[in-house]
Amino acid sequence: MQSAIERRTEIVSVVNRDGTARVEDLAAQFNVSSVTIRNDLSLLQKNGYVVRSHGAVIPGSGVLAELTIQKKRRRNIGIKSQIGQEAAKLIESGNTVILDSGTTTREIASCLKSLENVVVLTNSLDVAMELTVAPGVEVLMSGGVLRKSALSFSGSQAEHSLKNYRFDKVFLGVDGFDLKAGITTHNEQEASLNRLMCEISEQVIVVTDSSKFGKRCCHMIRDLRNVGVLVTDAGISGDYLATLKEMNVEVIIVEKKVSSLTS
């Protein structure tokens, strides 16, 4: 059975694709009641994903609802791999780093097998599993409550476990990257943990493909002026590059532009 999050994500996709949709048509398409669709649309409108108008709905300016880790893995596979490879070059033997949960940070982890004397703390089961075959990397887990949809840990226990640590670098995968809103994510507890990760790290490095630009979520992690490095693809706009330069954010762009379509 389709979950509410999956249904709402598809509703936004339909509206963005067709430019408009009627409540009755959406109810029939997703085999739910009109009341359920109206509740979905109320939530989506509240967060800026759509705009309701006289029994119909049109696209809004927000970001899509959160996808499961399984669906995220299938999106932009090629470019995430390239970003991960480039970001991994910023890690040297002897470094202590944090790898946040996410499909792009998982790609970073897959590139660390040849390094020696590196300590990696992560809140991600995916990242930890990748590092089991990296003999020179010591792996620390944050602990906390497992979010099964994201295969990540968060919560007060996870935050408490980080407070006595200090790291050289933190690598963050984000759900939204907006010049005004900063870097954002869908989940409140993960946003809180991410903020702490930034506070205990000397350098904050954001890794994201350009599909996240201009998107924003409810929970802010950090203002862009407090980001040290962005690793992304050639889809970044000139306006973003100019503004980030003014903010003293170093931008690293992977050489080859890869289609943003799902591989």
Q: Which pLDDT belongs to residue 186?
A: 81
Q: What is the pLDDT of residue 260?
A: 37
**What structural domains does the chain harbor?**
4-59 (1.10.10.10), 69-253 (3.40.50.1360)
Look at residue 98 in the predicted model and tell me its pLDDT.
98
Residue 211 C-alpha from the chain's centroid? 11
In SS3 terms, the chain reads as CCCHHHHHHHHHHHHHHHCCEEHHHHHHHHCCCHHHHHHHHHHHHHCCCEEEECCEEEECCCCCCCCCHHHHHCCCHHHHHHHHHHHHCCCCCCCEEEECCCHHHHHHHCCCCCCCCEEEEECEHHHHHHHHHCCCEEEEECCCEEECCCCEEECHHHHHHHCCCCEEEEEEECCEEECCCEEEECCHHHHHHHHHHHHCEEEEEEECCHHHECCCCCEEEECHHHCCEEEECCCCCHHHHHHHHHCCCEEEECCCCCCCCCC
Mean pLDDT, the chain cut into blocks of 10 residues (263 residues total) = 79 77 91 92 82 74 49 62 96 97 94 96 95 96 88 92 95 92 88 96 96 84 95 94 96 68 33
